[in-house]
A = this chain, B = another copy of it.
């Protein structure tokens, strides 16, 4: 860090990504720290997220949210308010919001999610297990998936930021959880730390056979973060009345053109499946109850919040490629 404190280093988007965003989609620039407009605050970013969803924000395809070329890369982050021209937000408060991949952000009230208590958990945990990742897992699994006692849950990317909380919640509710992940370390984490009844490597020789063998009673709730070939191996094992939460699609490298896969219509009818597309920001009403429960479980040691922090904004342009490689451990973020 050779910049003066008055200089704000930022990662900006320079072009659309084709598939997984590579470092050349971004540029690292320096800009003055913005002035604080009336009603806004200036936040010093402590830690910023690196999320699978960012791929969609950077793609050419229609998405629920897009970051335009020339803009600072959008990212949820934890930061400290260092200047305020808003009477509801005060200097010194640590806040969760959309601050981007940069050192300092001018944040309007809409960009600020809520205050966090750094004494309760480290900043990076508030960005993951106690942030939108945890809320995604909680609301998706419990309110959309509606698991009943004794049911089996299967979660893809089980060692990831959302998946690990799904597994933890399933264990806390006494559900049987099967995790799909990759590599010996993550398999071990799923079994030993997250309490999955089985952890399955999706690069194994016979994924459909492995899933069927791990789920002799079938699958009642499928929390799908991957789509693609992994989902194709899960659908035949779904039980009648199963619920599918479509939360992500990281196993499909591109949607231009839309790839083909096995038709689901017959399974939908024969098994009376419920398949729901899920974006957590649609469910703000449920945040207080969900966050309260997540905090309670975290304090009780029932949620493992493993985090990998990349140091310095220089690491951000390559971070999505790294995330999609699957070599990261737990929730990935960057400390700018």
**Cβ of A266 and Cβ of B249 under 8 Å apart?**
yes
Whole-angstrom CA separation of A247 from B272 in the bound complex: 10
Number of interface residues of A (CB under 8 A): 38
**Cβ of A258 and Cβ of B263 under 8 Å apart?**
yes
**Cβ of B272 and Cβ of A262 under 8 Å apart?**
no
Is A62 in the interface zone, CB < 8 Å from B?
yes
Complex interface: stretch among A8-16, A117-125, A274-282? A274-282
- How distant is A207 from chain B, measured CB to nearest CB, in Å? 16
**Cβ of B270 and Cβ of A263 under 8 Å apart?**
no
- How distant is A145 from chain B, measured CB to nearest CB, in Å? 13
CB-contact partner of A276 in B258, B259, B267, B274, under 8 A: B274
Closest to A270 in B: B64
Beyond A270-B62, A271-B277, whether A260 also contacts B258 by CB under 8 A is no
**Cβ of B274 and Cβ of A249 under 8 Å apart?**
no
Whole-angstrom CA separation of A273 from B279 in the bound complex: 11
In the assembled complex, which residues on chain B have CB atoms less than 8 Å from the CB atom of A261?
260-263
> Which residues 64-118 in A have Cβ within 8 Å of B in the complex?
64
- How distant is A300 from chain B, measured CB to nearest CB, in Å? 32
Closest to A226 in B: B265
Whole-angstrom CA separation of A278 from B272 in the bound complex: 6
**Cβ of A277 and Cβ of B282 under 8 Å apart?**
no
Whole-angstrom CA separation of A315 from B258 in the bound complex: 44
- How distant is A333 from chain B, measured CB to nearest CB, in Å? 22
Q: What is the 8 Å Cβ interface bit string for chain A, positions 42-59, against chain B (1 contact, 0 not)?
A: 000000000000001000
Q: What is the 8 Å Cβ interface bit string for chain A, positions 226-267, against chain B (1 contact, 0 not)?
A: 011001000000000000001111001001001111111111
Is A203 in the interface zone, CB < 8 Å from B?
no
Which among A224, A231, A248, A277 has the greatest number of chain B C-beta atoms within 10 A? A277
**Cβ of A272 and Cβ of B263 under 8 Å apart?**
no
In the assembled complex, which residues on chain B have CB atoms less than 8 Å from the CB atom of A246?
265, 268-269
Whole-angstrom CA separation of A247 from B269 in the bound complex: 7
Is A63 in the interface zone, CB < 8 Å from B?
yes
Whole-angstrom CA separation of A272 from B277 in the bound complex: 4
In the assembled complex, which residues on chain B have CB atoms less than 8 Å from the CB atom of A248?
269
- How distant is A148 from chain B, measured CB to nearest CB, in Å? 16
**Cβ of B266 and Cβ of A252 under 8 Å apart?**
yes
Given A258-B262, A260-B263, A274-B274, 7 other A-B residues pairs in contact with their CB atoms under 8 A: A228-B263, A246-B269, A259-B262, A261-B261, A269-B279, A272-B282, A275-B276
* 28 A-B pairs whose Cβ atoms sit less than 8 Å apart in the complex: A61-B266, A64-B269, A227-B266, A228-B265, A246-B268, A246-B269, A247-B269, A249-B266, A252-B266, A255-B263, A259-B262, A259-B263, A260-B262, A261-B263, A264-B264, A267-B277, A268-B276, A269-B278, A270-B277, A271-B277, A272-B278, A272-B282, A273-B275, A273-B277, A274-B275, A274-B276, A274-B277, A275-B275
